[in-house]
Structure 1
Amino acid sequence: MKTTISQVNRFVGEEVTIGAWLANKRSSGKIAFLQLRDGTGFIQGVVVKAEVEEEIFKKAKSLTQETSLYVTGVVTEDERSPFGYELQVKDVEVIHEAVDYPITPKEHGTEFLMDHRHLWLRSRKQHAVMKVRNEIIRATYEFFNKEGFVKVDPPILTGSAPEGTTELFATKYFDEDAYLSQSGQLYMEAAAMALGKVFSFGPTFRAEKSKTRRHLIEFWMIEPEMAFVTFNENLEVQEQYVSYIVQSVLENCKLELERLGRDTSKLEQIKAPFPRISYDDAIKLLHEKGFDDITWGDDFGAPHETAIAESYDKPVFITHYPTSLKPFYMQPDADRDDVVLCADLIAPEGYGEIIGGSERIHDAELLKQRIEEHDLATDAYKWYLELREYGSVPHSGFGLGLERTVAWISGVEHVRETIPFPRLLNRLYP
């Protein structure tokens, strides 16, 4: 019976064949222990000299790291294994022998591992991170489908800057200027006016010359947008969504979180509702914590976000930022024109902002005024203004950065480990 490592629990006591790679091996005279992986998981294969033909035992002992093979054996339960099962090997068939595999079971420098990212992905830790990433994506679709959202795909090539920044990758679109998208939000607003509740999931690009552990040049965003939804209702959707994906990872990635050494007790606390603090009160809190140099109107950096998050054991919303700090499309507070109805969701444990969201301006005249104040080309936003001219309604949305969220939930330090092939300021290879 041919099967995969993830499915061996169905065949306890039976003989199966698994296509796998040799991750590592060790031997002690009359027994060879083969650490096998097949993409679905890892399992130990035990080859006992007295129980197989001599040629098979010799072959098992001579296998090199990352050699591909078919392994046939009997599945047994093993309480000592984190996986719970192992394979009593009866036969080994080499498919392709790997020679001088560059990533050996020793310490390698970051740049070396990044140069060999195409191979580094095979390691246990990277495998676990990618499985956590996949579970977050799966749970995302599940959550929004359950909540009645429609998946919409905004364009990657755009003719304008959604947030009015200059941190864009420009390209020629025949005889026009175009840019790689830094957000699908504006298009999602159009979709929400047609379909009510929508979400997108796709790549975004930002030409920000940053080298921090929280930044990538190419990253993936989940961007929901909702018609007839106000600011506070938007926050409720965000906390329900984040709670959902965290609990899904806890339930479905136990082995991966254990392999990553993640303290799951901290994740178990991540359930809605989340605490909220206004920008005004956040400034006061930072002053109490010794950040005397920050004043009202300044944006928060990583140390500030971390200091604020330390006061809570759940993600915390920082709300009502100054209008001057935020993009042109955010709805002003009805009681204060110097702040907008927005919130950043800051993850615990120093992982920083994972969500930015707001209620959007729904008045056409105010939006036109904001566009002019930001020196944006009115013609480029003509279609966006028309959304407010034909049946405008209050609406809200947010964007969650997938890689930062993966880093937080999996407990890895740098976002470069949370995407299969990271694009960084100094890296376009492999």
Structure 2
Amino acid sequence: MKTTIAEVGKYVGQDVTIGAWIANKRSSGKIAFLQLRDGTGFIQGVVVKNEVDEKVFEAAKSITQESSLYVTGEVRVDERSPFGYELGVKEIKVISGSVDYPITPKEHGTEFLMDHRHLWLRSKKQHAVMKIRNEIIRATYEYFNNNGFVKVDPPILTGSAPEGTTELFHTKYFEEDAYLSQSGQLYMEAAAMALGKVFSFGPTFRAEKSKTRRHLIEFWMIEPEMAFYEHEDSLKVQEEYVAFIVKSVLDNCKLELGVLGRDTSKLENITAPFPRISYDDAIQFLKDQGFTDIEWGDDFGSPHETAIAESYDKPVFITNYPTALKPFYMQPHPTREDVVLCADLIAPEGYGEIIGGSERIHDYELLKQRIQEHDLPESAYKWYLETREFGSVPHSGFGLGLERTVAWISGVEHVRESIPFPRLLNRLYP
């Protein structure tokens, strides 16, 4: 019976054949232990000398790290293993050998591992992070599909900057200028006017020259937009969605969280509602904490966000930032001209902002005024203004950065480990 490691529990006491690679091995005279992986998981294969043909045992002893093989054996329960099963190996058929595999069980430097990212992905910890990333994506689709959202795909090539910044990657689109998208939001707003509640999931690009553990040049965003949703309605969706994906990982990735040594008690507490602190109160809190350099009107850096987050055991919303700090499209506060109806969601444990969201301006004249105040080319935003000209409604949305969320839930230190092939300030290889 040919199967995968993930499915061996169905065949306890039976012989199965698995296509696998040798992740590691050790042997002691009359017994060899093969650490096998096949992409679905890891299992130990036990080869006992006096129970197999001599050629099989010699193959087990001589096979090298990351060689590929078909291995046949009996599935056995193994309560000592986190996986719960092992394979009593009976036959080995080598498919392809591997000589001088560069990533050995010893310690390697970060740059070396990043240069060999295509191979580093095979390791047990990186495998666990990718499985958690996959579960977050799967749960994202489940949450939004179950709550009446329609998946819409905004363009990656755009003719203008959604947030009016200069941190864009420029390219030529035949005879026109074009940019790699930094957000699909504006297009999602148009889609919400057609479909009510929508979400996108795709790559975004920021030409920001940052080297922090929180930043990538290319990253993936989940961006919902909701017609007839005001700011408070959006906050409820955000906390429900984040709580849902955390629970999904806890329920479906126990083995992977264990491999990473994640303290799951910190995740088990992530339930809605989340605490909130206004920007005004956050400034005062930081001053009280000894941040004497921070003043009202300043944006928060990583140390500021971390200090605020450490006061809570759940993600925390920082609400109502100054108008001058935020993009042109955010709805003004109803009783204050100096702040807007927005919130950033700050993850615990120093992982920073994972969501930015707001109610969007729905008044045509005000949006037009904001575009002019930000010196944006009105011709490029004509289509966006038309979404307010023809039947505008209150609407809200947000964007969740997938890689920061994966890093937080997985407990890995740097976002470069939360995406298969990271693009960093000085890294375009492999």
Q: Secondary structure at the match of 1:423?
A: coil
- Give 1:201-240 correspondences, 5 Å limit: 201-240=201-240
The match for 1:314 is 314
Aligned to 1:347: 347
Cross-structure match for 1:66 = 66
Structure 1 residue 411: Cα displacement: 0.1
Partner residue, 1:293? 293
Residue 27 (structure 1) aligns with: 27
2:360 paired residue number: 360
Deviation at 1:288, TM superposition (A): 1.1
SS at match of 1:255: helix
The 5 A counterparts of 1:183-332 are 183-332=183-332
Instruction: Determine the C-alpha separation between the residues in 1 that align with 2:350 and 2:115.
Output: 27
Distance in 1 (alpha carbons) for counterparts of 2:284 and 2:265: 30
- Deviation, structure 1 residue 278: 0.2
Aligned letter for 1:414?
H
Any unmatched runs of 5+ in structure 2? none
* Cα distance between partner residues in 1 of 2:428 and 2:287: 41
| Match in the other structure for 2:119 | 119
Unaligned runs of 5+ residues in structure 1 are: none
How far is the alpha carbon of 1:341 from its aligned partner?
A: 0.1
Q: Which runs of 4+ in 1 moved over 6 A?
A: none
Q: State the SS of the aligned residue for 2:222.
A: strand
Q: What corresponds to 1:55 in structure 2?
A: 55
Superposed CA deviations along residues 94-147 of structure 1, whole A, max 9, x for unmatched, are 000000000000000111000000000000010000000000000000000000
Between the aligned partners of 1:139 and 1:109, the Cα distance in structure 2 is 34
> Would you say 1:386 and 2:368 are equivalent positions?
no
SS at match of 2:81: coil
Instruction: Output one character per residue of 1:352-408: Cα deviation in whole Å (capped at 9) or x when no partner.
Output: 000000000000000011001100000000000000000000000000000000000
- Normalization by structure 2: what TM-score? 1.00
| CA deviation profile, 1:300-327 (whole Å, cap 9, x unmatched) | 0000000000110000000000000000
Q: What letter matches 2:264 in structure 1?
A: T
User: Distance between the aligned counterparts of 2:261 and 2:339, measured in 1?
Assistant: 41
Counterpart residue type for residue 361 of structure 2: I
Q: Provide the C-alpha distance between the structure 1 equivalents of 2:184 and 2:427, rounded to a whole number of angstroms.
A: 25
1:94 alignment partner AA: V
Q: Secondary structure at the match of 2:380?
A: helix
| Counterpart residue number, 2:2 | 2
Counterpart-to-counterpart distance in 2, 1:148 and 1:258: 34
SS in 1 for 2:343: strand
SS in 2 for 1:232: helix
Shift of 1:153: 0.1
**CA shift at 1:75, angstroms?**
0.1
**Residue of structure 1 equivalent to 2:38:** 38
| Residue deviations 1:210-257 (CA, integer Å, cap 9, x gap) | 000000000000000000000001000000000000000000000000
Aligned residue in 2 for 1:129? 129
The amino acid that maps onto 1:342 is C
SS of the aligned residue for 1:214 comes to: coil
CA distance, structure 2, for counterparts of residue 288 and residue 33 of structure 1? 58
Alignment: residue pair count: 430
Amino acid at match of 1:333: H
Return the offset for 1:55. 1.0
Whole-angstrom CA distance in 2 between matches of 1:27 and 1:338: 70
Instruction: Quote how far apart the aligned CAs of 1:87 are.
Output: 0.1
Tell me, yes or no, if structure 1 residue 404 matches structure 2 residue 404: yes
Percent sequence identity over aligned pairs: 83
Query: How far off its partner does 1:291 sit?
Result: 0.5
Q: Distance in 2 between matches of 1:413 and 1:370?
A: 39
How far apart are the structure 1 equivalents of 2:322 and 2:17?
62
CA shift digits 1:73-93 (9 cap, x unpaired): 000000000100000000000
SS at match of 1:318: strand
Match of 1:380, SS state, is coil
The alpha carbon displacement at 1:28 in A equals: 1.1
Shift of 1:292: 1.1
CA distance in 1, matches of 2:293, 2:151: 44
Are 2:107 and 1:107 aligned?
A: yes
Tell me, in whole angstroms, the C-alpha distance in 1 between the residues paired with 2:271 and 2:130: 23
**Distance in 2, Cα, partners of 1:410 & 1:365:** 45
- 1:3 to partner: Cα distance: 0.1
Corresponding residue of 2:426: 426
Matched residue SS, 1:303: helix
Question: Structure 2 CA distance, aligned partners of 1:235 and 1:167?
Answer: 28
